[in-house]
Structure 1
Amino acid sequence: MMTFDQIVSMQKKNVATAFDLGEKALAGVEKLAELNLQTAKTLMAESAEHAQAMLNVKDMQDLVALQNAMLQPLGEKVAAYSRHVYDIASQMSAEFAKIAEGQAAEAHKQFVSALDNAVKNAPQGTEPAIAAVKNAVSTAAAAMESVQKAVKQATELAEANLKAVANTAVNATKAPRTTKAA
């Protein structure tokens, strides 16, 4: 059974963790807001430039050339923005996962400690039941560890795939465009 001091200590840790998670979430939102604000400013400046250039167009050929010049880097910009958003989300996810792993490890440690205390006070003849509970706890811990490894591998694979798709999209926008003569 937990003592009053242990309960208070556990609650203090939980409150500290909650505030830590809150700070990390706000930092992520702040990074995302900064990215969006910078993107909006850049888009506004580029749109003003483009509008000014369109006002100076003399013929249809210049208009087509201007439009092509504007559209070509668009895919690259969208891919760069997506990468930034993904990086921010990945960082937040990694920080949250790290905290969750720490909490799970601490909970496991406390459970094992409570189990060991219970074993010390267990009556004679309960050794097989205690051994079964300890075996179940170690099996659950091993399963949790393998799930965490699988999630980490899946995340790394998804990251690699996202980068490959982004690179493909960027390369596709860089491909030379051919126009058919009418």
Structure 2
Amino acid sequence: MSTLTPQQLVAAQQAGLETLFGLTNKAFEGFEKLVALNLQVGKATLAESQEILTKAVSSGNPGELFALQASLAQPTAEKVAAYGRQVHEIVSGVQSEISAAATAQTQQFQRDAQGFVESLQKNAPAGSESAIAAWSSVFSAANASYESANKAAKQFVTSVSTVQ
């Protein structure tokens, strides 16, 4: 009967680690983008606040101060909306990349598992048909469960994305 060799186990572990570090790097890239965006927004807000306060202090007329305050409401709302869109784009991009990598990894696992079962079927001794059938059944059930969970996760992500 065919069994996994130590080299195959090492290769599988190495592939898993590479995937883990790849996904971790993607997450950190997204975090870096969010930090850069927040720094940019913070600097712009500080500069705008300084300009507004300078105008407010130099204005001796309370009417001008109220007019200044009213004129800032619309641009502020637009900036908040633009910020929200940028955050959503960054998070969606990272989520998409991680989802694609996870899907590819799962598909590879499914192919490897199917190959393992086929190898068992080819090299199984006589009389082990029921054990091989049980292994096939377990892998089929696992694949069906994965597909169901994957569909549910995609529906959840879609519903969360549309709410935002």
TM-score band (shorter)?
A: 0.7 to 0.9
CA–CA separation in structure 2 for the residues paired with 1:23 and 1:139: 33
Q: 1:53 aligns with which of 48, 52, 55?
A: 55
Q: CA deviation at 1:35?
A: 0.2
- The Cα of 1:128 is off from its aligned counterpart by 4.1
User: Structure 1: any 5+ residue segments left out of the alignment?
Assistant: 163-182
Task: State the Cα distance separating 1:148 from its structure 2 match.
Answer: 1.7
Q: Does 1:133 align with 2:158?
A: no
Which residue of structure 2 lines up, in the alignment, with residue 161 of structure 1? 163
CA contact (8 A) 2:120 2:132 kept: no
Q: What is the Cα deviation at residue 132 of structure 1?
A: 4.2
Match of 1:26? 28
* TM-score, normalization by structure 1: 0.77
- RMSD over aligned Cα atoms: 2.1
In the alignment, which of 101, 104, 108 is matched to residue 102 of structure 1?
A: 104
Summarize the Cα distance change of 1:92–1:112 in structure 2 as closer, same or farther, 3 Å threshold.
same
Secondary structure of 1:73's aligned partner:
helix
Which residue in the other structure is 1:85 paired with? 87
How far apart, CA to CA, are the structure 2 residues paired with 1:129 and 1:8?
27
- Cα separation, 2, equivalents of 1:83 and 1:137: 42
Q: Which runs of 5+ in 2 are unaligned?
A: none
Structure-2 change in CA distance of 1:129 and 1:3 (3 Å): closer
1:117 aligns with 2:119: yes
More helix by share: 2
The one-letter code sitting in structure 2 at the alignment partner of 1:58 is: G
TM-score normalised by length of structure 2: 0.84
What fraction of aligned residue pairs are identical, expressed as a percent?
37
Q: Which SS does the other structure have where 1:2 is aligned? A: coil
Partner of 2:66: 64
Distance, in Å, in 2 between the alignment partners of 1:156 and 1:20 is: 24
How far the C-alpha of 1:50 sits from its partner, in A, is 0.4
Aligned to 1:166: none
Task: State the alpha-carbon separation in 1 of the partners of residues 138 and 14 from structure 2.
Answer: 29
Q: 1:12 to 1:129 in 2, by over 3 A?
A: closer
Q: How many residues are treated as equivalent by the alignment? A: 162
